[in-house]
Amino acid sequence: MREKIKQGRRWVIKVGSSLVTNNGLGLDTNAIEAWAGQLVAMQKTGIQLVLVSSGAVAEGVARLGLKTRPKQVHLQQAAAAVGQMGLVQAYESCFMRRGVHAAQILLSREDLSDRTGYLNARSTLTTLLDMGVVPVVNENDTVATAELCFGDNDTLAALVANLINADVMVVLTDQDGLYDADPRVTPGAKFIPQASVNDNRLTAMAGRGASLGRGGMLTKLSAARLAARSGTNTVIANGSEEQVLIRLLQGEALGTLLEADHEPVTARKQWLAGQLSLKGKLTLDAGAVEVLQKSGKSLLAVGIQSVQGQFSRGDVVACVDGSGQEIARGLINYDVNEIEKLKGVSSDKIEQLLGYVGEEEVIHRDNMVISDSSSN
């Protein structure tokens, strides 16, 4: 029984093209209907989930009457633009029949590498999840040439897992999971049911495996390692298994479980601390310092005394005490001019001062890391 998977409350599920299309030519509506049924059943148990689905290019190929998937990037992009309409319509109709709303989210890696885009995407996704909506995410194929050339929806799923602090990422493919060699050409290849995601031996094993879809097993392993930076455990499983998602949710040992090395919050905050540079500084009063150090709560505007630097929403700023010692750092929800207006005032005055309602928190606790020296 896989308790870590069974207990996960927030999932990212990536479905490859082979599982939602008719051999790459048009959508398999029966398959999409079945996936929607499993996802809604999971949601009814209290699971929040994001679906990362391939299939737009394949549907566009069918709608445009092309005989094969085009090799030229501009034709692939045109097919993606046409096919995205059908992909979203198919999912929406399946979810609506079950009384659940779906939302289309088109992202690229560039969107998430930009810190403002990161915050905006995170806010949108978490809001949709809290509203009981199933976000259907795809790479923005029309502009993201790297994805079209290299098949990067695995990486996109991992970035979404980082973004929403997912407990579980499931990568569904046409193979049972990870083997120590390609089972299709190596008799006696050993199946790997479970491993630490950072086990160096896995790289060589995945490199010896044949392609799984366009991304290949090595791409899936790299995605699992990327997701693990935020503490997300990954399962690589065969999407043709009957009720595979429901069985995974029940703790059944399907596929290969790649375990993260850290708990989600700790790992995600380590990732924030290690990846981003400081753009400004907020000096806090003694009450706010104590709240951050002892309670681990979000930073509110009322605790800010002064502001330094030039920063925009999504930049990383330091929080310091009256002596200038760094207490914490994190992604800020407002720019410097807005913070100047908000410092020292309660959150219920935000709309009055800015003319709109933003986040109650200046820095949300999920986007903040407490400095090691401040905990002594």
User: Where in the chain are the domains?
Assistant: 3-268, 277-375
pLDDT of residue 182: 77
pLDDT, tens digit, 9 for 90 and up, residues 153-209: 888 899 899 889 999 999 999 889 998 887 778 888 899 999 999 888 888 777 644
pLDDT, tens digit, 9 for 90 and up, residues 110-164: 677 667 788 888 899 999 999 999 999 988 877 765 544 435 688 889 989 988 9
pLDDT of residue 36: 97
pLDDT, tens digit, 9 for 90 and up, residues 4-52: 899 999 999 999 888 999 887 889 999 999 999 999 999 999 999 999 9
Q: Are 299 and 361 in contact (CB under 8 A)?
A: yes
Question: Is residue 271 pLDDT above 70, yes or no?
Answer: no
Query: CA quadruple 55, 57, 62, 68: dihedral positive or negative?
Result: negative
pLDDT of residue 214: 42
More confidently predicted of 126 and 369: 126
Question: Is residue 212 pLDDT above 60, yes or no?
Answer: no
More confidently predicted of 1 and 34: 34
Question: Is residue 373 pLDDT above 60, yes or no?
Answer: no
d(C-alpha 222, C-alpha 229), whole Å: 11
d(C-alpha 159, C-alpha 162), whole Å: 5
Q: Tell me the average pLDDT across 340-353.
A: 94
Question: Is residue 213 pLDDT above 60, yes or no?
Answer: no
pLDDT of residue 74: 85
Q: Quick one: residue 281, left, alpha or beta (phi over 0 = left, psi -120 to 50 = alpha)? A: beta
CATH of 277-375, one of 1.10.1660.10, 3.30.365.10, 3.30.450.20, 2.30.130.10: 2.30.130.10
pLDDT of residue 376: 45
pLDDT, tens digit, 9 for 90 and up, residues 284-325: 999 999 999 998 899 999 999 999 999 999 888 999 999 999
pLDDT of residue 150: 36
pLDDT of residue 281: 96
- Fold assignment, 3-268: Carbamate kinase (3.40.1160)
Q: Tell me the average pLDDT across 51-76.
A: 88
Strands (E), 153-255: 168-173, 178-179, 191-192, 194-196, 233-238
Question: Is residue 266 pLDDT above 70, yes or no?
Answer: no
Confidence of residue 210 (pLDDT cuts 50, 70, 90): very low
Question: Is residue 211 pLDDT above 50, yes or no?
Answer: no
d(C-alpha 159, C-alpha 155), whole Å: 6
Q: Are 25 and 83 in contact (CB under 8 A)?
A: no
Q: Which of 122-126, 211-215, 218-222 has the lowest mean pLDDT?
A: 211-215
d(C-alpha 218, C-alpha 369), whole Å: 31
- Nearest Cα to 70, choosing from 118, 106, 105, 25? 25
Q: How much is the pTM?
A: 0.76
